[in-house]
Amino acid sequence: MVMAASETKFHVLAVDDTLIDRKLIEKLLKTSSYQVTAVDSGTKALEFLGLNNNDHHDVEVNLIITDYCMPGMTGYDLLRKIKESSSFKDIPVVTMSSDNIPSRINRCLEDGAEEFFLKPVQLSDVNKLRPHLMKRRTQTNVNKRKAMDEIVSPDRTRARYNELEVK
């Protein structure tokens, strides 16, 4: 039983304190056929992921896109928290900002952000997300397939073992 590349939509968590930008990123993502959850702070993003309480790990997020300049927890703080979390460090994170500050951009990329988009974000930017998502999904499928093979074919394994024994 082989796990084909799933037809379910990728789920993106968008984080931005500005309502207009949240509406815009949500529209861009939905236009590109992603399922979107949009929150207005890093704290809410972490709550949604379940980082603050261990009860719900059933929400699956495939990518996080966050604004940099936010009151309280910045996008950079959020990036660090995600990358330091054992449960969520493998979720790709993308940062965005209306300010073109090279040191800021470099810091985010060096500390684990896959991309850094300058606002206003365009559809062409959102198109850059897919490779990051496909890479993760392929890896997950390879891992799942290995696990499935081990569960599904105990007979085959046993037969092989028996053959060895006979030899």
β-pairing, 93-97 vs 11-15, is unpaired
Residues in 132-161 at the binding interface with another protein, rule: CB under 8 A: none
Question: Can you tell me which of 57, 60, 84, 120 binds another protein, judged by CB under 8 A?
Answer: 120
Our finding on whether 101 is near another protein (CB under 8 A) is no
CB 12 within 8 A of CB 65: yes
Our finding on whether 20 is near another protein (CB under 8 A) is yes
Question: Can you tell me which of 6, 52, 87, 98 binds another protein, judged by CB under 8 A?
Answer: 98
CA torsion angle 38 52 109 98 (round to 10): 40
Stretch that binds another protein, among 16-24, 57-65, 80-88, 141-149 (CB under 8 A): 16-24
CB of residue 33 vs another protein: minimum separation in angstroms? 12
Stretch that binds another protein, among 39-47, 81-89, 114-122, 139-147 (CB under 8 A): 114-122
Which token pair is 75?
């996008």
- Can you tell me the distance from the alpha carbon of 29 to that of 41, in angstroms, rounded to the nearest whole number? 18
Question: Can you tell me which of 81, 104, 119, 132 binds another protein, judged by CB under 8 A?
Answer: 119
Count, in order, helices (H) and strands (E) of the chain: 7, 5
| Closest to 64 measured CA to CA, from 101, 90, 28 | 90
Q: Which residues bind another protein (CB under 8 A)?
A: 18-21, 23-24, 27-28, 31, 69, 98, 119-120, 122-123
